[in-house]
Amino acid sequence: MWSISKYLLLAAVVVCLSVCFRLYSQLASLNITTLIHHQFKASAPPPTISFYKLSLQWPPAACHGMYTCKPPIPSDFTIHGIWPQDSNDEPIPPYNKNNPCTLKTPTPPTDLPIKLRPIEVYLTSIWPNLVDGLNLTANYQFWEYEWKKHGTCSDYPDDPLTYFKSALKLRLGIKTIVRFGRQTSWTVKQVADEVFHVLKAYPQIACNLNPSRTQKQLWEIRLCYDRPNPGQPPHTLINCTNILRVSKGKIIGPCKSMSDTIFFP
């Protein structure tokens, strides 16, 4: 009896070990497959910069429908940002250390107060945080946000001074963007044609809505510049790929057609 029991016990152990080994093999195979899958996804190269987009916002529209702004509200186009874009007119994603866009180490946003001190006065005037443009802390919060989102994967990830100076230089080089007066209405096509007539390149037009959401307004005019050679800032104006705002192939924002009428407050 004892001999039979030993054999039965031994057989049970063998069966258990066999089942456990098969289960372990399946789990190990699944883990390896999953790991390879994640490694493959992580190793996909980041998108390549195709051009830069200088976004200029019209403060009376931005502060009348999007932001609650403290006076004084500028009466000229101010800089929203300068954004590296890929060939599909999508923004280059921010720096990601797990899938870096550059071999350089980007300057931390917290270093900007030191790096941008030489041009601080110009940035405050031409690239203000419209919510509180005279508040230097609020301005640096805005610049740090733009740097982290758009500057760290630009061609100047470790040189924020050159990045911000490039936008200032482009803006200061534009004396006139549109020639029509305020408190007038135009179609998106008329605005784009006007910019083309003045600057010889088609822009992108961004709209917003007034506080009662009853009227489309001219919020931003965005100008596109070819990607420069290494060591140079953007300087060659080109036609923007999309006159209306597009993301993932779909028009976004209140303006959906070139025939939409927009108010210039």
Query: Cα(169)–Cα(127) distance, rounded to whole angstroms?
Result: 12
Instruction: Please state, for a pLDDT cut of 70, what percent of the chain lies above it.
Output: 84
Query: Cα(53)–Cα(240) distance, rounded to whole angstroms?
Result: 8
pLDDT of residue 228: 97
Residue 14 confidence class, pLDDT cut points 50, 70, 90: very low
Residues 64 and 217 sit within 8 Å (Cβ to Cβ): yes
Task: State residue 232 phi and psi, 5-degree precision.
Answer: -115, 150
pLDDT greater at residue 9 or residue 93 = 93
Residue 22 confidence class, pLDDT cut points 50, 70, 90: low
Helix-, strand-, coil-residue percentages of the chain, each rounded to 5: 40, 20, 45
- The DSSP element (H or E) to which 88 belongs, if any, is none
Considering only the C-alpha atoms of the chain, give the largest distance between any 2 of them, rounded to a whole number of Å: 107
- Condensed to tens digits (0 to 9), the pLDDT of residues 144-194 reads 999 999 999 999 999 999 999 999 999 999 999 999 999 999 999 999 999
> Across the chain, what does the average pLDDT equal?
89
Strand locations in the chain (E): 51-57, 78-85, 184-187, 204-209, 216-226, 237-238, 246-247, 250-251, 261-264
- Condensed to tens digits (0 to 9), the pLDDT of residues 91-110 reads 999 999 999 999 999 999 99
Query: Cα(137)–Cα(145) distance, rounded to whole angstroms?
Result: 12
Buried b (16+ CB within 10 A) or exposed e, 149-173: bbbbbbbbbebbbbbbbbbbebbee
Query: Cα(158)–Cα(147) distance, rounded to whole angstroms?
Result: 11
Which of 4-8, 117-121, 255-259 shows the lowest per-residue confidence on average (mean pLDDT)? Answer: 4-8
Query: Cα(207)–Cα(189) distance, rounded to whole angstroms?
Result: 13
pTM: 0.84
Tokens of 20: 């456990």
**Antiparallel, parallel or unpaired: β 184-187 and 261-264:** antiparallel
Residue 25 confidence class, pLDDT cut points 50, 70, 90: low
Q: Is residue 129's pLDDT more than 50?
A: yes
Residue 44 confidence class, pLDDT cut points 50, 70, 90: confident
Q: Would you tell me which CATH number, out of the four given (3.40.50.300, 3.40.30.10, 3.90.730.10, 1.10.10.10), belongs to the domain 51-264?
A: 3.90.730.10
Domain boundaries of the chain, sorted by first residue = 51-264
Q: What is the mean pLDDT of residues 122-128?
A: 98
